[in-house]
Amino acid sequence: MLIFATSDKGGTGRSVTGCNIAYRRALQGEDVAYLDFDFGSPTAGAIFDIPDAERGVSDRGLHSYLRSGLEPVELDIATESNRESLRDMPPSSGRLVLVPGDRGGGEFGRSQELVPRCISLFNRLEQEYAVSVIDLSAGRSYAADLALAVTGDERMRQVTSRWLVFHRWTRQHIIAANGLVFGENGILEAGKLHGHDPQRLRDSIRFVRTAVVNLEAPQFTMGRPAQEAWSRVCNNDLKELAARNGLGLSTLLGEVPLDPVLQWREQIISDADVVVSKIANPATVEAFDAIAARLSEDSTWEGL
């Protein structure tokens, strides 16, 4: 199963949430690959805490592969990461592997060979990993267009592809996420050009709300009553706006609460961060876990 992670804007939490979902899915017992297709800013290496791949690798990353066909490296998180919790995943976990981008890769020209190269890469990963998460760059990027071209190809028709659109829980982000999917040159329109069946493509897109303020937090319930009341009104307005923009409950895959750890640092949240050091919130991990499980839940992905 291929999971494409996308967002209209940068800084939405796409990479951090995507990496955490991949990690949770591996903890749920499946072999998972994370592909850093964010050619402009490959940050997954930093999130998984792999020193040699902080801002991408110096050679044999995904750009090199797409440009010249050089096989990309696969970094096994269990051996490459600096973080103990990632190195010591329980035996019931699957393998978690990062296919990094290249340092200073940047965008590059289109070429005829890119689509077939991507198809063989995705097909190869599909043979080995139950889930591959592909972090596309923000907006109507080249990576997103490439992903649509590839998944629209005949050779990929047996491979389940799903799209997660990450957005923050604000007016502008809701409208932007709507534009990315339903708007001009959006995913649906571009998908149609690449031979996707519009209905099927639509059914394979779900939204993930990131860094959502928790109204039950003491900051609100124990703070100024006027603040709490006003926040609730805002939240309800956003819910209405989301529903009107096609981002309502039926297309919602999950909601990740604002987490103090992630506010400070882009990282994987381990169970130890919640239970032992207690720096992260249990609700954050629960959200990642639930989203990871829903990736393959048939009821979640029924046609709308």
Ligand X SMILES: Nc1ncnc2c1ncn2[C@@H]1O[C@H](COP(=O)(O)OP(=O)(O)O)[C@@H](O)[C@H]1O
Using DSSP, state whether 183 is helix, strand or coil: coil
Closest by CA to 6, choosing from 158, 152, 162, is 162
Q: Which entry of other proteins, ligand X, Mg ion, none binds 259, CB below 5 to 8 A by partner kind?
A: ligand X
278 touches other proteins (CB under 8 A): no
How many angstroms separate the CA atoms of 264 and 15, rounded? 15
Q: Which stretch binds other proteins (CB under 8 A): 25-33, 179-187, 265-273, 281-289?
A: 25-33
Q: Which entry of other proteins, Mg ion, ligand X, none binds 59, CB below 5 to 8 A by partner kind?
A: other proteins
x/- mask, ligand X, residues 22-61, rule CB under 6 A, reads ---------------------x------------------
Site for Mg ion in 35-54 (CB under 5 A): 43
DSSP string for 53-102: GBTBBSSSSHHHHHHH-PPPP-EEHHHH-S-HHHHT--TT---EEEE--B
- The secondary structure element, H or E, covering residue 182 is helix 171-182
70 touches other proteins (CB under 8 A): yes
Give 154's DSSP letter.
G
15 touches Mg ion (CB under 5 A): yes
Q: Which stretch binds ligand X (CB under 6 A): 102-110, 240-248, 252-260, 271-279?
A: 252-260
Give 72's DSSP letter.
P
Site for other proteins in 205-224 (CB under 8 A): none
157 touches other proteins (CB under 8 A): yes
Strand partners, 96: 32
Q: How many residues bind other proteins (CB under 8 A)?
A: 29
101 touches ligand X (CB under 6 A): no
How many angstroms separate the CA atoms of 46 and 268, rounded? 10
Helical axes 114-128 vs 142-151, angle rounded to 10°:
70
Site for other proteins in 81-120 (CB under 8 A): 91-94, 116, 119-120
Q: Which stretch binds other proteins (CB under 8 A): 105-113, 153-161, 195-203, 211-219?
A: 153-161
**Residue nearest to ligand X according to CB distances in the complex:** 13
Tokens of 226: 């006027």
Q: Least CB distance from residue 28 to other proteins, whole Å? A: 7
How many angstroms separate the CA atoms of 181 and 179, rounded? 5
How many angstroms separate the CA atoms of 278 and 287, rounded? 17
The burial of 249, by beta-carbon neighbours within 10 Å (0-12 exposed, 13-18 middle, 19 or more buried), is given as: exposed
The structure tokens 């996308």 sit at 6
- Chain positions contacting other proteins, by CB under 8 A: 28-29, 31, 59-60, 69-71, 73, 91-94, 116, 119-120, 123-124, 126-130, 154-159
| Residues at the site binding ligand X, with contacts judged by CB under 6 A | 7, 10-17, 43, 210-211, 256, 258-259, 262-263, 266
